[in-house]
Amino acid sequence: MKLEGFGIFVDDMSTMIRFYRDVLGFEIKEEEDASNVFLEKDGTLFLLYRKSDFEKMTGSSFSYCKGVNGHYEIALGVENYSAVDREFARVTGLGAKSVMKPTTEPWGQRTCYVADPEGNLIEIGSFAEG
């Protein structure tokens, strides 16, 4: 099997599309009103699934995390430590919720965490000083 991408389940499709497209720079690949919206970032397929549509399709109901949650993270890399700080300021200025301000960790990575509008964690980091 080959990994082609990954997806997250969302409540508010238009808000999540705007965040991933306009704040994080994901490219949208289809109409915004679809049940499953395909986006792409650096060659990786990223899918947003509307929770209600997915449950209808599968005939099942599921439990979901609420608020800022640590169920998983999406990790984004930038070119160096300075870029971590710049991107943190930029994305929080555009509405991402601050979870952890930029910090240089003992293992040599400068990293920070924000949350998307539905509470999913996004890491922005780099191992390159500068």
**Residue 84 has what DSSP assignment?**
H
Render pLDDT for 56-111 as a digit per residue (tens, 0 to 9).
999 999 999 999 998 899 999 999 999 999 999 999 999 999 999 999 999 999 99
Q: How far apart are CA 18 and CA 24, in angstroms?
A: 9
Topology of domain 69-126 in CATH is 2,3-Dihydroxybiphenyl 1,2-Dioxygenase; domain 1 (3.10.180)
Q: In one letter, which amino acid is 7?
A: G
User: Among residues 78, 115, 77, which one has the least CA distance to residue 95?
Assistant: 115
* Domains of the chain by residue range: 5-58, 69-126
pTM score of the predicted model: 0.92
Tell me whether the CATH fold assigned to 5-58 matches the one assigned to 69-126. Answer: yes
